Structures are given as structure tokens and as C-alpha cells.
Amino acid sequence: MKYFMISRTFTLLTIFSQCMGGVKIPILSWKRATGCTIIWFPLFKLFPVLLTIVIMWAICGILTVSGALGPDHPARTDVKLNIIERAPWFRVPYPGQWGVPTVSVAGVLGMLAGVLACTVESISYYPTTARMCAAPPPPLHAINRGLGTEGLGTLLAALWGAGNGTNTFGENVGAIGVTKVGSRRVVQWAAGLMVLQGVIGKLGAVFILIPQPIVGGLFCVMFGMISAFGLSALQYVDLNSSRNLYIIGFSLFFPLVLTRWMSAHSGVIRTGVEALDAVLQVLLSTSILVGGVVGCLLDNLIPGTDEERGLAAWAKEMSLEYGKGEAAETYDFPIGMSFIRKWKWTSYVPFMPTYEPGKFTALFIKKKL
């Protein structure tokens, strides 16, 4: 039954987002100038994920009430009801609420390994998200700003005692691909909703009640979209080259084998230094990091032309420099750009939209006479 619910979840999501995306339903709309009118609303295109969750949650509720699901079945809607009862109505988190933060060498090295893995993962998501939104590839200053924001979020999470850092969440990237909604305003509203969930305890507890099979079915579609958009970057390389096929195949399969083996043998690394063991365990258990390193090494060690490797086409497609084409405006700040362009010092700051790569380091390079 669990796998039945998972299959029905991604089946519904597939039907709503892919098959019925162009279907519009009539709804009543009222404006002072025209009064009541009927407009055609693209419900399935804008809210396929929400519709899937609501329908499948209702089905799980019916099966729970009818007794079709066992007492410990993960699809039951009453398994976690005690969470709502125990959750407070209002609670304001504050820094240091769990005590004074402690710092240790093992903890710092372990977190650095996690941060490195998350950084590589986030950098891979930025151009993928841009492609989903039909936006130009992010320039260098936008990537720097994104990583810096994630670092700031991790710092705040540590102060508030969240127990985890912040980075680009793959499921959100997949949601953009499914819903075709990449508006920043939507993200801002979602952020506000999450803040309310953190303050109003019972509101946040409601979302925890979503049955696990529904979440699993959504994951199948979301991460599938991420994989597909990631593979679409291979359009720049020569797929008729046996060299490229060898690198792609090995870089995809080897990380899956290694990370699975590392998960099954968590204590296999014994260098004698506990902190180093933890770092290596985290790094070798991150498939995207292992695959990226292996692919990068093979691509640079095995001979191949720039056209064969896709470097020539990729350089034209994704420019990291400021002021080239549409990217100059897409990744600007929403306000204050007129002042920023007047200040020359902003061209030296890596996260500013007017940043010019190499200009800061040029200050320390002695000019040849």
C-alpha cells in the first residue's frame, strides 16, 4: 500500500503538470470597473504540487478512517497527531536558546567538509535554476552573492541552534521545473510563510502531518527534474565521442557505488585522527562532490579538443563577466542600482552587480615598467 500511494502521488503530479498544464478552468472574478466576470485560470499549470498534496492527503484520510491502513502504516494521517497537541501556539526563537555554542576541532572540520559539499551542490543548482526560468546564466557576482547568503544563513542557523546549515534545496529547484513558476515574489511569500510556521507552532506542526508516501512521490518527480536539467548541460559536448561517453558513464556510476558503500561501512576510514575520519566520511559520501571531482579529473587528464569537451560552446553560453547581455540587468538589485553604479568602489566588491573580476587583485600586482 505504501508504494501504491507513492505511485499515485507522482502519477497525479505528472498528469496535472504535464498533461493538463494547458487546461484552464472558469472562475468568477470581480472588478469595480467591470463587475463580475468569468476568467479562465490555469489551475493545473500553477498549482500541480498543491493539488496533488491536497488530493492525496484526502485519500489517505479516507483510508485511515475506513480502517484500510494498518495502525503503523506511514500513509495514515493520524500517526503524528500528538505533534499538534504538544506544539505551542506561539514561540519566538532567539539566539542561544539551547545554551552557549561550543567549538571543537572535530566539529569545525566536519562542518567544513559539509559546507564544501553544499557549496559544490549549490553552484551546480544556480545555472540549472536559471535555465528553468529561461533566464541568462548567473554571472560571477550573482554566484558569489548566492554563496555568501547561504553562508550568512548558516551562521544565523548556528546562533539560533537550528542544528543544520542552509543551502540551495534541490526540491525547490525541482518545484520550479514542475510548476514553471520562478517568480521572486513567490519565493518571498514562501519565506514569510516559513517564518510564520516557526513562530506559530501549531501551524508548522500541520505540515509535519503530510504522510511520508506523499512526500516520497513528490521527491521522485522533483529530483527527477533536477537530474534531467543537469543532464541537459551535456548538449554542449560531443556525445559521439567515445572519450566523452567514457567520462560521463564513469562519473555517473562510480559515485553511486562509492557513496552507497560508504553509507554501509561508516567506520571503514581509520586514519588515527577522528576529525580527519569525519571529514573524509562526509566528502566521500556526497555523490555530487565525488562525481564532480572524478569527472573534472578525467576531463582534464584525458586528451580532447575544446570543441569536443564543449568548452567553446559553454564559454559562449555562460559568461561569468559583468555587463554582457541580458545578465547585466537580470541579476541587478531591485533598488539602488543608480547609486551603486555611481560608486566606483563597488566594482571591487565580489558580490556587487558592478563587480569586475580581476580588478581587486590587479591592485596587488606590480606593473611592469
pLDDT digits (tens, 9 = 90+) for 125-184: 888 788 778 788 888 888 888 888 888 888 888 888 777 777 777 777 777 777 777 778
Residue 73 pLDDT level (bands cut at 50, 70, 90): confident
Q: Examine the pLDDT at 55 and tell me if it is beyond 70.
A: yes
Average pLDDT, the chain: 81
pLDDT at 247: 92
* CB-CB contact of 67 with 60 (8 Å): no
pLDDT at 246: 92
Q: What is the DSSP letter of 272?
A: S
Q: Examine the pLDDT at 367 and tell me if it is beyond 60.
A: no
Backbone angles phi, psi at 235, to 5 degrees: -65, -20
Q: Examine the pLDDT at 322 and tell me if it is beyond 60.
A: no
Residue with cell 497537541: 85
* CB-CB contact of 69 with 76 (8 Å): yes
Q: How far is residue 218's CA from residue 55's CA, in Å, rounded to a whole number? A: 13
Determine what percent of the chain falls in helix, strand and coil, rounding each to the nearest 5.
65, 5, 30
Residue 263 pLDDT level (bands cut at 50, 70, 90): confident
Count Cβ neighbours within 10 Å for each residue of 232-269 and write b for 16 or more, e otherwise. ebeebbbeebebbeebbeebeeebeebbeebeeeeeee
Over range 56-74, report the average pLDDT. 84
Handedness of CA 244, 247, 249, 251 (dihedral sign): negative
- Region of 358 (left: φ > 0; alpha: ψ -120 to 50; beta: rest) is left
pLDDT at 292: 82
Residue with cell 578525467: 298
* Bridge partners for 36 per DSSP: 30
pLDDT at 327: 55
CA neighbor of 277 nearest in space, from 158, 105, 120, 102: 105
Find the range with the poorest average confidence among 241-255, 290-304, 339-353. Answer: 339-353
Domain boundaries, the chain: 2-78, 238-309, 332-364
More confident call, 55 vs 334: 55
Give the predicted TM-score (pTM) of the model. 0.67
Over range 100-119, report the average pLDDT. 74
Q: How far is residue 349's CA from residue 353's CA, in Å, rounded to a whole number? A: 9
Percentage, residues of the chain above pLDDT 70: 92
Over range 283-312, report the average pLDDT. 86
Give every CB contact of residue 258 below 8 A, 6+ residues apart in sequence. Answer: 284, 287, 290
Give the H/E segment covering residue 31.
strand 25-31
Q: How far is residue 317's CA from residue 331's CA, in Å, rounded to a whole number? A: 16
pLDDT at 369: 44
Q: How far is residue 239's CA from residue 337's CA, in Å, rounded to a whole number? A: 43
Percentage, residues of the chain above pLDDT 90: 5
Q: How far is residue 146's CA from residue 152's CA, in Å, rounded to a whole number? A: 10
Q: Examine the pLDDT at 318 and tell me if it is beyond 70.
A: no
Over range 216-236, report the average pLDDT. 78
Q: Examine the pLDDT at 328 and tell me if it is beyond 70.
A: no
Residue 197 pLDDT level (bands cut at 50, 70, 90): confident
